[in-house]
Structure 1
Amino acid sequence: MTQLLAPSSAPRLGAFAEGALTFRLLALGFRIIAFAVILTGIVRITGAFTADPSWGALRFYTVLSNLLCLVWVALLIVRTVRDIAATGPRGHSTPSARWSGAIMMAITVTFLVYLIVLVPATFTQDSDYAPFSLTDNLIHIITPILLILDWLVFVPKGRLRWFDPLLWALIPYAYLVFALVYGGLGGEFAPGLRYPYPFLNVDAHGVGGVALWILALSVALIGVGYVYVCIDRLLARAVRALSSRG
């Protein structure tokens, strides 16, 4: 993957190049707003500025993936400001299209698992949990949408590789290893809760049942990764076709 802080070499002349807008000021404004929204969700779920913060929330993939997005968007802001100062307001300011895809996929896992698995199963993290609260929407829905929009609008297309979704899966797999080992050694994600999500409950599903859940989710989520790669290729091809006609 390209170096994260290398100067951008994307075209800066037109308003639209390599399948993405080249208005850096627009990108900067969007990314600043995204950073504020993501930070708000993290602060709300952890209660960071309350008298009794819930730092245990940091054990859940949802919060960790939001933190990952926060760091990435901060990097995008720094890169965009640097590029504006160095080469002007036109161009792409993304450290790496492939890393952008990886972060987008990591938070897409949060989005899809929440909507498809957790909400239908009436998942509860604590006694007063309610789906689709403001905090829930921020960390499970709005943050993923913001990262997907940033990729669609501001990230050059045609740079993803067919094996990238397999690499992207390493992020949620790393969390799975942590969750299973931590819970298996007696760690608790909440009082009396040794698993972060119901499909990882070995006591209820057995090792085989949990393995089947992981396999099914892996196939589904890697499949979504390939949807992103196909969109990337189609947009890049469409831009090349339009350029050749011009």
Structure 2
Amino acid sequence: MSKDAIISRTRAESVWDSGALVLRTIALPFRCVALVLITIGIIRITGMFTEEPSPKAWLFYTVLSNALCLVWVLLLVLSTIRDIAAFGTRGHSTPSARWSAAIMMAITVTMLVYIFVLVPSEFVQAGDYEAFSLTDNLIHVVTPLLLIVDWLLFVPKGQLRAADPIRWAFIPFGYLVLAFVYGALGGEFLEGSSYPYPFMNVVVYGNGGVALWIGGLSIGLMLIGYVYFTLDRLIAAISNRIGN
């Protein structure tokens, strides 16, 4: 048997290929559970089915990034179901490894800013918000971890590009632009507050102080992005070295 044939047979029998599991029977239930948990978190923080829903909760990056994850995970679930029906239970079911990483980074921003910036500042958000409550943990911790685990386990590695971590910053930066414009036009995130997060408060910090906050956070989060990129390359290299 030729070397290429041996490699092909090994890959066919392996549960791991391109740095990710190829078992859709594991990916599908995980993604279904993730979909349910993310949905519950969004419903709870927005009070969607209560007598007093909080539409202003949708103005916050936390809720918007969770909604982005909800749409993406729904797409993953549908893709996995489709691939099982069309190709069987073995293989990858991720429409785009690069988009998967981008959305993972978008929700990582939510988790890290929350833990290291918002909780210490006794931040208050519209909706059913209380630090480290069930709702709070779902949207700030559980959803990010679900997306990170999905990327680690089920997304093929080695497809990210060196400039991708910079591109990922477009999502939170896009939110910052919209939030500042909304506040400048008289919009309120909370009663009497024209900014969504404390580090964006130009009254307290001034334009220079807010710029320093955003610059510092941007550098820190971009470094995290390159940690993900390096991990992607490392896992891909290890996978290639062992033949799958």
Deviation at 1:149, TM superposition (A): 0.1
Deviation at 1:144, TM superposition (A): 0.1
Q: TM-score scaled to structure 1, two decimals?
A: 0.92
Give the match's secondary structure for 1:75: helix
Q: Which residue of 2 aligns with 1:144?
A: 144
Question: Structure 2 CA distance, aligned partners of 1:129 and 1:102?
Answer: 26
Question: Structure 2 CA distance, aligned partners of 1:128 and 1:238?
Answer: 44
Question: Structure 2 CA distance, aligned partners of 1:84 and 1:57?
Answer: 37
Instruction: Provide structure 2 residue ranges, at least 5 long, that are not aligned to the other structure.
Output: 1-10
Question: Structure 2 CA distance, aligned partners of 1:87 and 1:137?
Answer: 37
**Paired residues for 1:179-190 under 5 Å:** 179-190=179-190
Relative distance call for 1:194 and 1:88 in structure 2 (3 A) is same
Check the 8 A contact 1:158/1:236 in 2, yes or no.
yes
Check the 8 A contact 1:13/1:91 in 2, yes or no.
no
- How many correspondences in the alignment? 234
- Give, as a single letter, the amino acid of the residue that structure 1 aligns with 2:116: I
**Paired residues for 1:207-246 under 5 Å:** 207-243=207-243
The sequence identity of aligned pairs, in percent, is: 61
Relative distance call for 1:234 and 1:207 in structure 2 (3 A) is same
Instruction: Provide structure 1 residue ranges, at least 5 long, that are not aligned to the other structure.
Output: 1-10
Check the 8 A contact 1:12/1:91 in 2, yes or no.
no
Check the 8 A contact 1:162/1:229 in 2, yes or no.
yes
Question: Structure 1 CA distance, aligned partners of 2:146 and 2:158?
Answer: 21
Question: Structure 2 CA distance, aligned partners of 1:227 and 1:92?
Answer: 23
- Give, as a single letter, the amino acid of the residue that structure 1 aligns with 2:166: L
Q: Which residue of 2 aligns with 1:107?
A: 107
Q: TM-score scaled to structure 2, two decimals?
A: 0.93
RMSD between superposed Cα atoms in Å? 1.5
Deviation at 1:13, TM superposition (A): 4.8
Deviation track 1:90-128 (CA, whole Å, cap 9, x = no partner) reads: 000000000000000000000000000001111123698
Is the aligned partner of 1:84 residue 2:84?
A: yes
Deviation at 1:129, TM superposition (A): 4.8
Check the 8 A contact 1:102/1:168 in 2, yes or no.
yes
